[in-house]
Each structure stands twice: as structure tokens, then as C-alpha cells.
Amino acid sequence: MGRLDDPLNDPLPRRRPPSTEPGGPVEPDARAEPADRAGPVDRRSPAPRRPAPDAGGSPWFRPHTPGGPPQDPAPRPTAAPAPAPARAVPAVPTAPDTPTASATPTVPAPGEEPDPETVALRRARPPARRDGGEAVGGRAARRRAAARAARARKENAAVIASRGVGELFITCGVLLLLFVAYQLWWTNVQAGFERQQATSRLEEKWDAREAAERRPDAFEPGEGFALMYLPTLDVAVPVAEGIDKDGVLDKGLVGHYDEASGLETAMPWDEEGNFAVAGHRNTHGEPFRYINRLRAGDPIVVETADTYYVYEMTSVLPQTTPSDVEVIAPVPPKSGFTEPGRYVTLTTCTPEFTSKYRLIVWGKMVEERPRGDGKPDALVG
């Protein structure tokens, strides 16, 4: 072991390097330098610190400042334990700088489940305004959410009125749809049933020979007395006396212009004259809906209790006014007929689904055949 210098004999000993002997103590600096920043310390190879040069003495002797009391040598500092390394926290994106109210709820730490009240406020609170508006939260958010809920529950007069008008329109639309369905579908169903019953009653009378014993001009208004066939259109419809809308036409029947209508026309069995009938073109069985498709030469057959009367279609008048009664005259002027004969006239409304004008079809008798001789060729083919 080397001998230490005597500080009394050698007040200014020269600095010497640290002892290189094994196990020799390493003299640390008496004053610990503060660390610049907290952080982990590398304990594997600590670097020895050399005492800083001191112009006023050595590590064993420190002269005191004149005018002050002598100070005891500073105690040797001990190394503070190194703090544990801080855990890295993921970066949280920051919102734009906006002024916030003091009542804004505290943001929970990452990974912490927010409480139900915070979740409700987040849902009720509108998004932050970018124009510098006030951000709401806490009591203000609850009050405003409650106000909005109250306004939503309370209906003003305008909302009630608009709802009433909308319901009225819906009701009217449903009623219109029902009316259209009634006119275009249900009336045809009813007329078909009425027509079938009228045909059955007429055939029963013919089989009983009741009609053959009666006078041809003794039919009651609405009573059926014949069947009309339009083979080209596949139409077979009873013919009743009169053109009453409710009693004849709306039942799906064809009506004969009689004396009660003020426009009396001939019967098929008359020696000459114009046998004129009317029928619906749309709804209520619509027996004459497609008579505009008849062409010259197409047969029109009328069957009575004892005779078939066969006509051939000759001409058509696409449109005329309802007041044009000359179309059912004994010799219609616009039909092309020039002398008395045995003619037939079919009348109906036009255009379809309206009654503004009348469509007229004329024909001329070409055959008269007793029922006992069988059906005419127009019905057999």
C-alpha cells in the first residue's frame, strides 16, 4: 500500500492518477454533477470521473471564502437510483384548437370504458363547430337534449294540418281505386250473372212455347225476347225491350228502341223497317265493346222463339252526336241505303270509357231461317 500524502506537509499535493493496484479505491468526484435529463443509466461500464481542477486547493483541503465561517467538507453524495423507464403511450390525435366550456366531461384514459352518462352525452351532443362556435357538454348538453326531445314530442299546428291533408289524399286515392275497380271489374261480373239468368229464362220460355203464342208487340219493358250473336267477336247476348239504363243496359243486355223510349223502331219479323238496338261499350258487360272491328260481310244473327234472322254488316259511322236520331230511321241517310228494306242498326258510345259520341254499325238482312231447320251457317261454322 502506498502512503498517503500528508495534507499538513504537502498543502498543495499534485494530482496523481488513480491507483492501478488491484482492489484500490477509486476516488469519485466530491461534487455530483446533476443529470441533464432523467433516463436509464448504463450500469455495465461506468466511466470513472476525475476531480475537476480546483484553483483553490485539493480534494483534501478546501480553503474557505474569506469573511465567512469555515465550512465542513461536503458529504460525499450517493448516487440516486435510476428511475424506471417510462412506458410509451400511443399518440392521441388532437382536435383543432377550439374553445371548450368548463363543463366538458373528462376524457377517459386510453383503454378505460366510458361511463353510460358520457356515452349518452356524446350521442346527444352535436359535433364541434369548426367556425369557432361554442362546444357544449355536461349540463348544457343534457338541457338541450331534453329540449330537443320535448320539441319532438310536441307537434305544432303545421305538422298536424299536413298530416291531416296527407291522410285525406290517401283516403281519396283509395276510394278512387275502389271506384275504378268497381266500374271496370265488378260491374262486368254482375252483368255477366244477370245476362246468364236472362238467357236461361228466355230459353225456358221458348221450350215451353209460351212466347210463340204471344203477340210480338206485347213484350214488357225489360223483358227479353231474342238473342243476338256476333260470331266474329264471339258475342252472344239477350235482347230486351226498351233502352232503360238501370233495367236493361246496366244488366249487360242489349236494348231495343221501343215506343216508350220515344224512338220506336221495327222488329226483326216486320216486313220492312230498321231493327235498332243499343248496348254498353265499356263496363256492365260491355257487349258492344268491339263492334268497331266488324267488317263488311260479317254476320249479325238474331234468334227469336221460332226464327233465325241473319244480317250482313254493310257500313259503319265511326262518330256522331247523341242527338243524331236519323241513324235509326227506317232508311238511315248515312248508311248507304237508298230504299226501304229490312235493316239492323247497332249503337254504342265512343270513344271508349266516355259517352260523348256514338258509334253506329249498319247491316242488311240476307236470310230468314225457321228454328226447326237448324242453325244458320253463320252459327254452325
Query: What is 86-124 written as a DSSP string?
Result: PPP----PPPP---B-TTPPPPPPTTPPPPHHHHHHHHH
Catalytic positions are 280, 349
Q: DSSP code of 259?
A: G
Give the span between the Cα atoms of 381 and 359, in whole angstroms: 28
User: What are the phi and psi torsion angles at 199 (to 5°)?
Assistant: -65, -40
pLDDT > 70 in the chain, percent: 62
CATH number of 190-380: 2.40.260.10
Q: Is the model more confident about 206 or about 18?
A: 206
Give the span between the Cα atoms of 223 and 81, in whole angstroms: 125
> In this structure, how many other beta carbons lie within 10 angstroms of the beta carbon of residue 347?
25
How much is the pLDDT for 29? 46
| pLDDT tens-place string over residues 144-160 | 888 888 777 776 778 78
Q: Calculate the average pLDDT of the chain.
A: 76
CA dihedral sign of residues 128, 133, 138, 139: negative
- Whether residue 294 has pLDDT greater than 70: yes
| pLDDT tens-place string over residues 192-236 | 898 889 889 888 888 876 555 555 556 888 999 999 999 999 999
pLDDT > 90 in the chain, percent: 42
What is this structure's pTM? Answer: 0.58
- Whether residue 135 has pLDDT greater than 90: no
Which region among 32-41, 75-84, 268-277, 357-366 has the lowest average model confidence (pLDDT)?
A: 32-41
| pLDDT tens-place string over residues 323-371 | 999 999 999 999 999 999 999 999 999 999 999 999 999 999 999 999 9
How much is the pLDDT for 14? 52
Contact residues for 275 (Cβ-Cβ < 8 A; gap 6+) = 256, 265, 266, 267, 268, 302, 342, 343, 344, 345
Q: If you average pLDDT over residues 301-312, what whole number do you get?
A: 95
